[in-house]
Amino acid sequence: MKALRLHGVGDLRLHEEPDACAGEGELLIDVTAVGLCGSDRHWLVEGGIGDAALEQPLVLGHEFVGVVASGRRSGERVALDPAVPCGRCAVCAAGLSHLCPEMRFAGHGRTDGALRTRLAWPERLAHPLPDGIPDAEAALLEPLGVALHALDLGHVRDGTTAGVFGCGPIGLLLVQALSACAAETVVATDPLSHRRAAAEASGAARAVDPDAVAGVSLPGGLGVDVAFEAAGTDEALADAVAAVRPGGRIVLVGIPDGDRTSFAASAVRRKGLTLLLCRRMEAEDLPRAVELAAAGRVDLGGLVGERHPLSAWEQAFAALVEQRTLKVVVEPQQDVA
């Protein structure tokens, strides 16, 4: 099988490797589509993410779908949850398995991800994929699950007003998910014009350059109920703080360069804001994302900007690093004869 491994900063290499083998409780999966994430960009450009550094050549990719290659579910299309909690620790027992300190996560640390033609993955994490969701679109189900988790943290309900600061794929999925929940995205920001256009197409009332956000009228002159920081920058967080109403909530979804986020404490304190950090998604969020997409309440296809076979990984990662499109999807089975 073919596998794309990161050996160091900027050093990706396509390898021919022994075929994957399924262990107890695992399925053998032919990987059909993998979405490239901003976290993959961190690994490539920085050689790590947060406090995790590259320890050994690593297969990236955690937004993935595929077809079961053998066994009783052979031929079934599935969306895979990339997080494998231990299920035994006190955190898991407390119902917080997405925060498990012993978690294995695809494309992180020592756990190889999905940028390969075949892999073995726990069967309990393989969710049936409806025929109406094509593989390339299904690669966005995991980030949609993250967006749904962020909405839960923000206490979003019918009539909630929101701001989304950063309109990469997660930010755009937040805008769509807010609309699906009958909430209103009052303002979305991003420095890239194609992302701003996509935000308005996704349902944002206004999408502006961050330099212009101060001129946007906010509900009642007080601000939005909840702000989602999805850019991973202090500047986006400052805009979120300015836009949210007193007593409101800010959900930090973006991952910063350098593993540090800072803000003006006085502004947050005066407004009595609640800051929450979104850590991946909870176990039920991927099935929720599948249901939402199957019902046609979000448009995943409109976010797929480029599709490449695994052998064209250089073009795929160039698009990711340059941020020249929305979601880049790699399709490993195109390389299988």
Report the CATH number at residue 33: 3.90.180.10
Q: Determine the average pLDDT of the residues in 309-313.
A: 97
Q: Residue 292 falls within a domain, yes or no? A: no
In this structure, the answer to whether residues 90 and 193 fall within a common structural domain is no
Residue 336 has pLDDT above 90, yes or no: no
β-strand pairing of 184-189 with 207-208: parallel
Q: Residue 282 falls within a domain, yes or no? A: no
In this structure, the answer to whether residues 182 and 216 fall within a common structural domain is yes
What pLDDT is attached to residue 190?
97
Q: Residue 290 falls within a domain, yes or no? A: no
In this structure, the answer to whether residues 206 and 131 fall within a common structural domain is no
What pLDDT is attached to residue 181?
92
CB contact set of 262 (below 8 Å; sequence gap of 6+): 234
Q: Residue 285 falls within a domain, yes or no? A: no
In this structure, the answer to whether residues 122 and 181 fall within a common structural domain is no
In this structure, the answer to whether residues 164 and 270 fall within a common structural domain is yes
In this structure, the answer to whether residues 127 and 24 fall within a common structural domain is yes
Q: Residue 243 falls within a domain, yes or no? A: yes
Residue 65 has pLDDT above 90, yes or no: yes
Q: What is the mean pLDDT of the chain?
A: 95
In this structure, the answer to whether residues 39 and 55 fall within a common structural domain is yes
From residue 38, give the alpha-carbon distance in Å to each of 87, 144, 151, 185, 298: 28, 14, 20, 22, 21
Q: Residue 295 falls within a domain, yes or no? A: no
In this structure, the answer to whether residues 115 and 133 fall within a common structural domain is yes
In this structure, the answer to whether residues 64 and 161 fall within a common structural domain is no
pTM: 0.95
Range of the domain at 35: 2-140+300-335
Tens digits of per-residue pLDDT, 95-151?
999 999 999 999 999 999 999 999 999 999 999 999 999 999 999 999 999 999 999
Q: Which of 149, 140, 206, 148 is nearest to 168 (CA)?
A: 140
Q: Determine the average pLDDT of the residues in 149-166.
A: 96
Tens digits of per-residue pLDDT, 8-44?
999 999 999 999 999 999 999 999 999 999 999 999 9
What is the amino acid identity at position 155?
Answer: H
**pLDDT class of 82 with cuts at 50, 70, 90:** very high
